[in-house]
Amino acid sequence: MSYSSSATELTNGVEGAVHCGSGMKRRRTEDSDCNDNEVYVKQGRNFLTILGNSHTFLSEQWKPDLCTLYKPLTEDIMINMRNIEQVTFSTGSHFLADVGGSYDRSQQGCSINMWRYDPNQKHLYIAKSLFFNNAQLYDAVRRCLAGL
């Protein structure tokens, strides 16, 4: 995989897109394969951008003991990774909500938890948690995070 200052394309066959960047430009050394269903990785600042799609869910109210309710990501989101202290990954069954926020179903998948530090209480907490029911999209986001 090579990167350039313009969009580099990853073929993954899923709807939606992921954009990430580290602010560093790398010279493109090889061409990439393209088709109509792609996830885009874009060099930029320290933002992780995920376009709203049917395979991604978000929670900003994480609860212990797997009680977190994830809402569908219906709009694009940009997360400033400079404000995130730690990122953890997990797999398992998660609770999914409908667009209105009511429980809809449980589903197997992967989650990415983004931790921040609370200086008043002096501990880390999960500020955002993303759930993916599509392994290819989850892997694309992990690759983006590894490149930041």
What are the CA-CA distances from residue 109 to residues 2, 27, 30, 37 (Å)?
A: 28, 35, 33, 21
Least confident of 22-36, 78-92, 98-112: 22-36
pLDDT-based confidence at 5, cuts 50/70/90? very low
Q: Could you tell me which residue, 89 or 39, shows the higher pLDDT?
A: 89
What is the reported pTM? 0.73
- pLDDT for the residue numbered 20: 59
Alpha-carbon distance of 31 to 75, in angstroms, equals: 31
Alpha-carbon distance of 8 to 91, in angstroms, equals: 28
- pLDDT for the residue numbered 102: 96
Question: pLDDT for 87-139, tens place per residue?
Answer: 999 999 999 999 999 999 999 999 999 999 999 999 999 999 999 999 999 99
